[in-house]
Amino acid sequence: MMHGASGAEGVELDIVHETRYDYAAPLSQAHHLAHLQPLADAHQWLLEYGLSIEPEPGARFELADAFGNACHHFSLALPHGELVVRSHSRVRVIPRFDQLDAARSPTWESVRSALRYVACAPFDPAVEFVQPSPYVPRLEPLRTYARLSFPPGRTVVEGALDLMHRIHADFTYRSASTDVDTPLAKSFEQRVGVCQDFAHVMIGAMRMLGLPARYVSGYLLTQSAVGGAQMVGADASHAWVQIYAPATSGLPPDGWLDLDPTNDIVPAGGHVRVAVGRDYGDVAPLRGVIRGGGRHVLSVGVSTRRVDVPGAAGPVVATS
């Protein structure tokens, strides 16, 4: 349990995420992993969290994965024809990038050079996010696409912002136009996709220049917490990107900057971070291994609403 100073600025959000599987035949056994608990840090206070599962699992436990995300594992050994997983979160989001100065970040070439292997040099964990990953392979066309945003001497944040603007302009958001298994090459070629595709394209383009980028899963208000603009990809699980810009004015000490190419914005108070990873595969909200069941129907519902509570208390992290 953690407590912070009360009365801090920010936006308080209430989130309900329900996933339901209806199986054509009963399952005899199932093992699942859920990434549904929002991250908790100085800029995102997890005030409440609860996870309910029906039917009740025979075993369940929580641990942190290699990226520091909260993971909930559960198993069911009794026959069941449906599964309902419902998470409820209350989160206070404190804006992190109000003082960002893109011109006062390092050049992109210096960031790339600092992450190259040198014998006996200190290891920077960000180098892991330069490497290709299962959903973001190396694609030469992405290098050509990224180069337009990163001319010689440009700062890494200025280049990443330009790349985000271009992806937003060049790609069309179309619900259900792709699925989780649509190859990145196809998404890039057809210039149509959902938030997952926008994120993977931007991550792939950054990595092809030797720059770290990682995938963020989370939630998004229907309307922006700043300015009230209508947001794309809201009221569902959302995805965006973090780029690495160490020693940049206005960024947290870890040097990671969030960018949302689907909506062409730097996230403020309306984005709730759930998990970070190399790509979607590391942070899928729910995945598992089952025995039996046959065909199934999946339905997912997410509700994200703003809660205005005067004098809100500091963070209390609770899990169930």
Please list the pLDDT of the chain residue by residue as tens digits (320 residues): 232 333 357 899 999 999 999 999 999 999 999 999 999 999 999 999 999 999 999 999 999 999 999 999 999 999 999 999 999 999 999 999 999 999 999 999 999 999 988 888 888 999 999 999 999 999 999 999 999 999 999 999 999 999 999 999 999 999 989 998 999 999 999 999 999 999 999 999 999 999 999 999 999 986 655 555 545 544 568 999 999 999 999 999 999 999 999 999 999 889 999 999 999 999 999 999 999 888 899 999 999 999 975 544 444 333 22
pLDDT for the residue numbered 229: 54
Is 163 found in the same domain as 226?
yes
Is 125 found in the same domain as 56?
no
Is 248 found in the same domain as 111?
yes
Is 257 found in the same domain as 186?
yes
Tell me 137's DSSP state.
-
Is 144 found in the same domain as 85?
no
Task: Decide if 5 is inside a domain.
Answer: no
Task: Decide if 47 is inside a domain.
Answer: yes
pLDDT for the residue numbered 317: 33
Q: How far apart, in whole angstroms, are the C-alpha atoms of residue 243 and residue 266?
A: 11
Quick one: which H or E segment has residue 159?
A: helix 156-170
Q: How far apart, in whole angstroms, are the C-alpha atoms of residue 228 and residue 11?
A: 13
Task: Decide if 311 is inside a domain.
Answer: no
Tokens found for residue 92 = 């206070």
Is 115 found in the same domain as 48?
no
Tokens found for residue 281 = 């595969």
Tokens found for residue 149 = 């945003």
Burial 188-220 (b: 16+ CB within 10 A, else e): beeeebbbbbbbbbbbbbbbbbbbbbbbbbbbb
Whichever domain contains 264, its CATH number is 3.10.620.30
* Torsion from C-alpha of 306, 310, 311, 317, nearest 10 degrees: -30
Is 160 found in the same domain as 287?
no
Is 165 found in the same domain as 67?
no
**Model-level pTM?**
0.90
The total domain count for the chain is: 2
Is 237 found in the same domain as 111?
yes
Task: Decide if 211 is inside a domain.
Answer: yes
pLDDT for the residue numbered 276: 98
The single residue listed with the structure tokens 């065909």 is 295
CB atoms under 10 Å from CB of 66, counted, come to 8
**Residues spanned by the domain of 45:** 11-94+283-306
pLDDT for the residue numbered 79: 93
Task: Decide if 6 is inside a domain.
Answer: no
Q: Which residue from 139, 77, 126, 143 is spatially nearest to 243, judged by alpha carbons? A: 126
Tokens found for residue 242 = 């973090």
Task: Decide if 21 is inside a domain.
Answer: yes
Question: Where do the DSSP E strands lie in 189-277?
Answer: 192-193, 213-220, 238-244, 256-259, 271-277
